[in-house]
Structures are given as C-alpha cells and as structure tokens.
Amino acid sequence: TPDLPPDMQSSRRRYRHIQPTSPEEMLRASTDAGMANMRRVMNQKTEEERMAKAPCTFCGKNGSSGALKSCSRCKAARYCDQTCQLADFKARHKRECANFVHPPNTSAFLTKPVANERYPQHPAFAHWHEDGVGCWVTIAGRLECDLHALTDSMDSKQNRDRRERVSDGGAANRQIIRTHKAAAHSLLGLRVLVQNRRKDKTPILVFGSRAQVLSQPSLTSAVLRGTAEGDNLVKFTRDKVPRVALGVANDPWDKSLRLEISHINGSEAKPNAPLPANVKDATEGTILLNTGDFAILQLQFRVGDGDTISKDWEALGALEAFFLPWASSDDTTAPASLPTAQAPASGGDGTGLLRAPFDQRGVRAHYADFIEHGEEAYMRSHFGDAQTGGMSRAEGMVAAMGEMLLGQGAQAGNADVLVQRLRDAGMGEIADKLASR
Ligand SMILES: [Zn+2]
Ligand SMILES: [Zn+2]
C-alpha cells in the first residue's frame, strides 16, 4: 500500500497476505478472513444461546431461560435450586469450584470447541490458580497467525485510523518506526481471563500493567533479538542462566501500554461507554474483583524481532510462563512492591502472583496443521469444516457480508472469483444467489 512510510513497506515485504500481489489475491485473502470471522461470530452467537439454555449441572433438567442460578463463586455451574446445588457441592463441585476446573461460563472465553468446530476459539494455553485467584491464558492473535506490529491498533476495527495516523506523521513518524522497530511483526497478543474465588470473600486488585512473560532458558537470546529503545523488560540470571522477563509493550504513538480491559463478568467493556465500577484504572489495567467476579484482559508483549519469531506458536514456544500480580486490598493504589517473575517471593503480605506455565504440547497441537501443512490447511481445519446448519439462520448476515465482498470483487473485476470461493467453501446456495444478481 503506497500510503505507508517506506520503512514500513520494506519490513512488510515478506508478509504476502498483507500486501497481496494481485486484486484476485486480495479478494481471496479478504474472503477467507471474512468467512472465518463470520463463522466465528455465528458460532459464538450459537454458543451464547446454548449457554442461556444450559441444563442444571447436577440433575440435567432444562431450565427456562434465566431461571437457573449460577454458583456465585465460579459462575461455571448452574442449578435448578438449592437442593441441586447442595447435592452437587457434596458430590463434586466443592473440589471443582476451588480448583478452577472450569472457567466461568462466557461466550467471550470458549476453551472448549463449540458447534461442530474441531478446535476451541480460545484454547487455554496456560492456566494457574493459587490462594483462590486463577487465570486462563489464550491467544489474541490474527486469523493468519502472524504476530502483531506496533503500527497496528490493538483493536482491528480502528486499524484504518491508526494507519492514517502512522502514515501522516512524516519524518518524526519514520523516526518512531525506526527507533521502536514498530513495523516488525513481533508482538504476541494474549487474552487473559482472571477470576477471584477467594473463600474469605475479600476483594482483590489485579494489576494488568504488571503482567509479564518469561523467556524459555534456551531461547532468551532469540527473545531479546527484537529489543528496541523503550522496551519494557528485565534481564536477570537464574541458576546461572540468563533470562528475560518481558513486560507489556509500550505504544509509542498512544504513549501507553498495549493493554486493554475487554470484558468484565462476561460483558464487553465498550470504548465509549462509562467504565464498569470494577475498572479502577483503564490504561493501567487495574481491576477490582469481588468474589466470583472475572475480567478479560488483552495484553501484548514484544517477543523477538519479527523475523526468527514471527508466528503465534513461535512466540508462545519461546516462553516459559505468564505472570500476573494481584493484591488483596480494595485500596486502589498498588502496594509498594508487587511480586514479579524475577522476584516471585510473596509471603502473607496480601499480595499474590499467578504464574501460569505455557502448555507447549497444547500449543503445538493447536497449530499442527499450520506448522505441517500451511495456512490453508489450518484455515480449513479451524474454520472451514464448521456446520452448515447454522448457516440458514445467519443467512442474512452472510448475504450482507457477501454483498460487501461482491462489491469489492466487482470493483476489482473479479466477482466470479468470489462466487467460486463461496462454492469452494460449501456455500453454494449463497453463491448462486449472489451470482444471479
Ligand atoms: Zn437440578
Ligand atoms: Zn462454583
């Protein structure tokens, strides 16, 4: 794209799908991404409906919508009444609730496959709980599994504005891009659900801005290769081996951390709406959680230089664990010292540190198709085989999306390519409808 500064263009050359070489390829890429997104949104809606109608965890009876009450501590189990709840608590739930066996029920964090999907939308690549506080960590990546760049906005919907800002800045902007290596695709996006299930029913404060990821001992130098001025990291030695703990990346344009509070108790935190009462500091990601409350944070970390490590699984594979500190206090200021990856000790001073090791086997299994057979195989197995049953209900949406893509295709003189892609994807009916227009 000619509106990008030259530095950005050069370092993007290897990302073929970002700069498609022909209108046809552009259409193909946008159609693939559009379809995958559509399926994802549809499956999430289906799952939301299913969750609303989910049966009693104990007796399996269906409740009419909203009639069942969730366990107030974990929000993962739901019951007809207290009789079912007590019976289940004795039989099983006491242990499961305290051990964070299931994440809370929310379509914003689906750790199990939904509908006919083979892979979950939010696979838990790391999990930890301690002292009644727990977290699940998944990827907040792009469809094609490339790491993010600082020049992109954290919210893909705002990318157009962001691109304009980045390309309008002239020499000063080129300087920022050079100094911060901002065009490199080196940011790992994580999506973290954190929940308070403490028995003492005290609220806790979670400090998103103090989250860290720790390098694998053997990959510390690869992780450090991307280091740029102003990066948020701590080098230290453990057992005589050099390590690096990466903090949340700084954004040189917004002068803030690459951090976002995306959901509180399952509700989306909308950008222009009033802040939920739980959010004590949105830019620092400081959140107050009462018993049962849970929040979802999006965090980005610079892992490597965007070259040797450029895919989500490569970045995850270079890391040992994710860390998130909290304090049992309803004071809104951070304690003088919080435990960190490099100094994890915390002893009864009212602070805690979640240290969630990455499940490398799980990471490799999730991305195996991409690693072994490439992007198309991955797209197909993760998004392509989805149910056709849900299609009819969502046909209006598909048609709207198709219309938009058709418009793009017609502009590029390639409407027939789109129609063919729809047929290839098993959406023959929709393809026929579009073709007949
Ligand atoms: Zn029941
Ligand atoms: Zn529970």
Instruction: Give the tens place of pLDDT for each residue, 71-87.
Output: 999 999 999 999 999 99
| Cα 360 to averaged position of ligand 2 atoms, centre (Å) | 28
The DSSP-derived string for 193-246 is EEEE--TT---EEEEGGG-EEEE-GGGHHHHHTT--TT--EEEEEETTEEEEEE
Q: Residue 110 and residue 414: Cα distance in Å, rounded?
A: 36
pLDDT tier for residue 387 given thresholds of 50, 70 and 90 = very low
| Cα 314 to averaged position of ligand 1 atoms, centre (Å) | 45
Distances, alpha carbon 16 to alpha carbons 185, 301, 304, 375, in Å: 13, 24, 20, 12
- The encoded tokens of residue 152 equal 């992109």
Mean per-residue pLDDT, 267-274: 83
> Pairing between strand 286-289 and 148-149?
unpaired
| Cα 98 to averaged position of ligand 1 atoms, centre (Å) | 21
| Cα 76 to averaged position of ligand 1 atoms, centre (Å) | 14
Q: Residue 343 and residue 123: Cα distance in Å, rounded?
A: 29
- The per-residue pLDDT for 10 is 37
| Cα 111 to averaged position of ligand 1 atoms, centre (Å) | 24
| For residue 119, pLDDT beyond 60 | yes
Q: Residue 285 and residue 279: Cα distance in Å, rounded?
A: 8
Q: Which ligand is nearest to the CA of 59?
A: 1
Radius of gyration of the chain (CA): 23
Q: Residue 354 and residue 341: Cα distance in Å, rounded?
A: 10
pLDDT tier for residue 236 given thresholds of 50, 70 and 90 = very high
Q: Residue 128 and residue 131: Cα distance in Å, rounded?
A: 10
Mean per-residue pLDDT, 58-75: 84
Mean per-residue pLDDT, 290-304: 96
The single residue listed with the structure tokens 């799952």 is: 47
**Under DSSP, is residue 213 helix (H, G, I), strand (E, B) or coil?**
strand
Q: Residue 51 and residue 409: Cα distance in Å, rounded?
A: 38
| Cα 332 to averaged position of ligand 1 atoms, centre (Å) | 40
The answer to whether ipTM exceeds 0.95 is yes
Mean per-residue pLDDT, 284-303: 96
- The encoded tokens of residue 331 equal 């004071």
| Cα 130 to averaged position of ligand 2 atoms, centre (Å) | 16
Amino acid at 329: S
Q: Which ligand is nearest to the CA of 98?
A: 2
Ion ligand 1 residue ranges (Cβ < 5 Å): 56, 58-59, 80, 84
More confident residue, 234 or 41: 234
| For residue 162, pLDDT beyond 80 | yes
